[in-house]
Structure 1
Amino acid sequence: MSQILCVQYTTIAAENEPQQSGFGPAGSGRPFLASRRAAFNAILIMMVGLEGGGVPLKPANIDISSEQETEHFDMEGNITMHHSHTFHDQTKYIGFEGLLSAFAQKAPSRTALLYEQHGKKSSLTRQEFVQAVHSRVRELLDRQNSAVRGVMVARESSAESVSETGCRTAAGNSAADSHKVPTCLGVLCDGSLSCVLTIFASALAGFQTVLLDENAAEELLVDQIRQTDIDCLWGSDEELLEELQPCLTAGIPDGCPPLSASGRRILFFTSGTTSSSKAVVLTDESLMAAAYNGSCKLPLSEEDTLLCMLPLNHVFGFVCGLLWGMQCGCTVALGRGARYYTQDLSFYRPTALSAVPMLLGFLLQHDLLNEELKLVLAGAGDCPKALLSAASQKGISVSFGYGLTETSSGVAISVPPAYRREDGAAPFFDPYALEVCPENTVTLADDGEILVTGDSCMMKGYYKHPEATAAVLRDGVLYTGDLGRWDEDGRLHIIGRKKEILVLPDGTKIFLPEYEARIAAALPGADFAVILRDGKPALLLFDPDLPSPAKKTPATDTPGLPSQTEKSPAAEAARATIQSKLKAVMAGLPRGQQLGAILFTDRPLPRTATGKVKRWELQQSPES
């Protein structure tokens, strides 16, 4: 049995600005909190079970003094003092608390975040950000304690007045019977300042924090809520929250997660869009260690502005779009979502940007990159050479990053000459030649599989999936399923994927066994595989009656892939037949995951001794 707690948060304004409610009045411009459904309130919904125990947690002790010296923890936890002129001094901050401590004590009046409010740029200094997070921690803990006492605030219309108070329960149960502490907060990420504050505060308040995509299908959100024991939700879309409220759980079975030396648990879902997507258990410490990785290889200065355009529920977006900039001490500008992709760069004028290849391609195609932009960190998908060339012509360096959700993002990064620390760096820059980050160690298995070790950035496991965890994480070594090679300079090159996942340019992952099972049901007995072609899934079908004009690939003795533009009458007739058979299958898939081409080969597909298709050989074909 459960009860519901609804709270409208208020905007955290700079000290010289009047405090505003979560949404501005009519005609005041875009609401502070974005919403896919034009919601009127930012709401926290808590579902609290009637059984279980637990102890309310205390907020982190964050010093918000204005000392100019930098006091921080080093890698061993010792306190050291620095007076360097840049914020990033190769110090790895221990979790969110270490970062906030540095914010509060080193140049606290410098701008930490830029965001839009009522159509204009607003900012928070480092000290104001720390204060805002600390305030949000106290608010979360107050709501947690209120839920334990059975006291709930249904809605707050402003910071000064409460329009409706008292107890409200689900299914008519007495709130007085409720005594279970909320344990797991799901955050429906919208990229707003309030969203960022809530993520930091939730972790510091001791909640297990799960980052969710507010734009995901509701069926997927329901599944993810149940997978991760979410008993509270934060979001800016009241309608969506009301629809998800009945699906909230009784919370973590064993109560609140322990706050140990390994950090506070923050869960990200792998980017697959099928039931194979799993919740990866990371921590604030592993995420900050990953941000430290990026700052060591690509150090931004305090004068830089990093634009965060990617979803915060994706680990690449959270680490490389937000924490990387915070670790370096530069200003981070919070993007306003997909509706503003055409405007955000001219609005914020960033000098650095993290982007998936599809977003970079869109920005280049529409000539949206501002002249101040000097660096793009691309990741979460294959980055075609054409994009790198187009950016280079604009004087923009593109660095390519390789990482996984399981490693808290970055494992290896290519470093442009301008960002190299050593003297005499070679002028030639290969963006696909990656340097391993300092917190990771990479080795290659006999078959070329990339193996990663590094406790500070490694996941704790897949949430409630010990078998899946054991399958990929063995004795501290992560078996990535990706293939790589070393060049003569000791840099890592990614050459393909060994595991059964197809990564689209926007970072979406397609779990191929499930995808191909649907096709197989419609094409019984067909010898086929799904591969990546021009950034889209393509069906490669063996048909000896349709000879392929492509030549063999010398390196693998695998037939090359025929061009999509070859349209012999026989091939066109075969394609039409297959498209007809697959029409219902494709209709059940998101548009971006539907087949972009049907290709034919006159040779059987290469397979292992167990009958599995050697996908990496197919993708190595020059024409693919």
Structure 2
Amino acid sequence: MTTLFINRNFPDKKALVTTSGDITYSTLLKNVERYARLLTSKDTSKVAIFSENRPEWIYTFYAALQNKAIPVPIDFMAAAEDVAYILDDCHPEWLFISAAMMDHLPEIELKSKHKPRVMVFEEIAPDDSVKETEWLGPEDNGATAVIIYTSGTTGSPKGVMLSFTNLLENISAVINSKIFIPERQVMIFLPLHHVFPLVGSMMTPLYVGASIAMAPSMQSADLLKTFGDNEVGVFLGVPRLYELMYRGIKAKIDKSPVAKTLLWFVLKTRWRSLGRKIFNKVHQSFGGHLQYMIAGGAALNREVGTFFYGIGFDIMEGFGMTEAAPMITFPRPGKIKIGSTGQALPGLTIEIREGEIVAKGPGIMKGYYNRPEETAETVKNGWLYTGDLGYLDKDGYLFITGRKKEIIVLPNGKNINPVELESKLENFSPAIKEAGVTLYKEMLHAVIFPDASFLTENNIEDQQAWFRDQVITPFNAGVTSYKRIMQFTLIKSELPRTRLSKLQ
């Protein structure tokens, strides 16, 4: 039986609410058909999408699925080098982009060997004669639905192949928990090239028949306006965002001794209903309808979670990764333990092996695109080795205690491969003999061992200023924004390494 991927029960209901106009489910289905007609070639196997969040992004995604092609979302803030790498790795026949991305195209084409056909959203002609798509869903749920690139431990991103079954396992889990229902509006805020918002903010609401409010950008003013202009009941964000919200709200509360005392009392007694009444203004600042704050991508600060939960929000921190599409555990409404990422997804089995969290079930990826060896290292006998450390309590709630693998997770949820940046730094300037990259005070920090002979030959006396102006600044200009080095330290001896030459 074919699964219905876009709900057809509410044709006149708003599917997408945007600053440029509302789009009903009927209009959405017509636009999917219109875009699908652009991809009728039998040779189309993959469609890359390089754009900021917008309705056309969604049309393209489902149009690709309709034509049995695999959408390949690309970070719209990625550097040309990173975009070119993805194009060369998976060879999409099409590249759909927005006009805003056109400025990056010449450099991408210069760095990429593969030359897909480019389609600009703004240049696609309207066609009012198109009827609603008749596509309901895939014929084979085991087929690859999407390829999402994520940082790996080998120095370059890997394409995670997720099947329709992988996605449906996640969609069904949150629908069955009654978080996503037709009457509850959801916001798209995070970039859709991440699997977390792709499944949670886009696919699940459209599957169940909910309305989606699309924030026009990731600016705080646009976020607050989107809350104010709509009735958002479910919001997906990264822990860093929730922490910024918390700091702003808490600073205002701390200015009033009475409010500060009331907050202490509410959190101490865990009287959530009272907290919601006392701090109703906080709820109104989010539009007055927000119930579920879903956090993913990195660890949620316990203090932040305790605060929002205490004043009446259901803040829900899940655990997962792209390779699990994305959830491994998530909290159920009414069964939230602050500090825990919840219990296993239905149908998923979790074990702790030598401290590492491993998971097995129908939500686990098919594998890495064209990377059988890396796939075998990550998925063993069906078990996904997450690289994260943790434990399960007696009720099956998962608690994360640390990370086994080297990937750096920034506070905004972005994954950074330090080996990749270290290699690029060392090749960027002859003044660098060795480089190590780490996370320090929530910022990327480079530890650099300079080449003394180069500095002497070039009469460089103020080394700190020279490295800042001649190395770090131009290096940062050429990498994706979240990969930029924000601090650096010059050292006088070689970096410590293991016997296998890995940085300690």
Q: Which residue of 1 aligns with 2:198?
A: 318
Give matches, 1:53-452, under 5 Å: 77=1, 97-100=3-6, 103-104=7-8, 107-109=9-11, 111=13, 113-118=15-20, 121-125=21-25, 127-141=26-40, 144=41, 181-237=43-99, 239-240=102-103, 243=106, 244=108, 247=112, 249=114, 260-271=140-151, 276-297=156-177, 299-339=179-219, 340-365=222-247, 369-392=286-309, 394-417=311-334, 420=335, 429-446=337-354, 448-452=355-359
How far is the alpha carbon of 1:110 from its aligned partner?
A: 6.3
Structure 1 residues 229 and 134, CA gap change in structure 2 (3 angstroms): same
Q: Which residue of 2 aligns with 1:160?
A: none
Distance in 1, Cα, partners of 2:202 & 2:60: 14
Query: Within 2, Cα distance between the matches of 1:288 and 1:435?
Result: 18
Q: TM-score, normalised by structure 1?
A: 0.60
Counterpart Cα distance in 2 of 1:400 and 1:438: 17
Structure 2 unaligned spans of 5+: 117-137, 250-284, 449-461
Would you say the 8 A contact 1:204–1:264 is kept in 2?
A: no
| Correspondence for 2:380 | 474
- 1:360-407 deviation digits (Å, cap 9, x = unpaired): 334445566333211110001122223324433553221001111111
Q: 1:232·1:248 contact (CA, 8 Å) conserved in 2?
A: no
How many residues in Structure 1 have an aligned counterpart in Structure 2?
423
2:343 and 2:488 map into 1 onto residues whose CA distance is 37
Q: Decide whether the 8 Å contact of 1:297 with 1:413 is kept in 2.
A: no
The aligned runs of 1:529-608 (5 Å cut-off) are 530-538=437-445, 586-587=472-473, 588-589=475-476, 592-594=482-484
Report how far residue 276 of structure 1 moved.
Answer: 1.4
Instruction: State the AA in 2 paired with 1:285.
Output: T
| Cα distance, 1:483 vs structure 2 | 0.9
Query: Do the aligned partners of 1:235 and 1:241 also contact (CA within 8 Å) in 2?
Result: no
Task: Give, in whole Å, the separation in 1 of the partners of 2:213 and 2:68.
Answer: 27
What secondary structure, in the 3-state scheme, does the structure 1 residue paired with 2:315 have? Answer: strand
Residues 1:230 and 1:498: Cα distance change in structure 2 (over 3 Å): same
CA displacement, residues 284-329 of structure 1 (integer Å, 9 cap, x when unaligned): 3322222222333463332211111011111111012222323444
Quickly say closer, same or farther: Cα 1:343–1:291, change in 2 above 3 A: same
Aligned to 1:618: none
Conserved? CA contact 2:141–2:164, under 8 Å: no
Q: Distance in 1 between matches of 2:353 and 2:499?
A: 19
Q: CA offsets, 1:122-161, max 9 Å, x none?
A: 1413x443344344334432xx37xxxxxxxxxxxxxxxx
**SS of equivalent residue, structure 1 residue 471:** helix
Kindly indicate whether structure 1 or structure 2 has the higher relative contact order, using CA contacts under 8 Å at least 6 residues apart.
Answer: 2
2:35/2:60 contact within 8 Å kept = yes
What CA distance in whole angstroms lies between the structure 1 residues aligned with 2:384 and 2:192?
24
Structure 2 counterpart of 1:397, which letter?
Answer: D
How far does the alpha carbon of each residue in 1:415-472 deviate from its partner, in whole angstroms, 9 at most, with x for none? 342xx5xxxxxxx7324242111132111112x1111111x32222111122211211
Amino acid at match of 1:311: P
Does structure 2 retain, via aligned residues, the 8 Å contact 1:281–1:459?
yes
Q: Are the counterparts in 1 of residues 238 and 298 from structure 2 also a CA contact under 8 Å?
A: yes
Distance 1:505 1:273 in 2: 19
C-alpha spacing 1:319/1:271, structure 2 compared with 1 (3 Å): farther
For residue 123 of structure 2, what is the aligned residue in structure 1? none
Post-superposition shift, 1:277?
A: 1.1
Structure 2 partner of 1:21: none
Q: Is contact 1:203-1:284 (8 Å) kept?
A: no
After superposition, what is the alpha-carbon deviation per residue over 1:66-118, rounded to whole angstroms, capped at 9, x for unaligned?
Answer: xxxxxxxxxxx4xxxxxxxxxxxxxxxx6xx5223xx22xx324635222253
Question: In structure 2, how many angstroms separate the alpha carbons of the residues matched to 1:539 and 1:186?
Answer: 33
Distance 1:202 1:594, change over 3 A: closer
Rounded Cα–Cα distance in structure 1 between residues aligned with 2:36 and 2:485: 46
Per-residue CA distance 1:453-510 (angstroms, 9 max, x = gap): 11x3222211112221121112211111111111232211111110111100112112
Aligned-pair Cα RMSD in Å: 3.8
Give, as a single letter, the amino acid of the residue that structure 1 aligns with 2:78. A
1:513 to 1:578, Cα distance in 2 relative to 1, 3 A: farther
CA gap of 1:248–1:313, structure 2 versus 1, over 3 A, is farther
The equivalent position to 1:493 in structure 2, one of 381, 399, 406, is 399
Q: Which consecutive unaligned segments of at least 5 residues does structure 1 have?
A: 1-76, 78-93, 146-180, 252-257, 421-427, 542-575, 615-624
* Identical residues among aligned pairs (%): 23
- 8 Å contact from structure 2 (residues 339, 399) kept in 1: no
Q: Which residue identity lines up with residue 70 of structure 2 in the other structure?
A: Q
1:493-550, CA deviations, whole angstroms, 9 ceiling, x for partnerless residues?
1111101111001121121233445678977689xx7544442235689xxxxxxxxx
Structure 1 match to 2:133: none
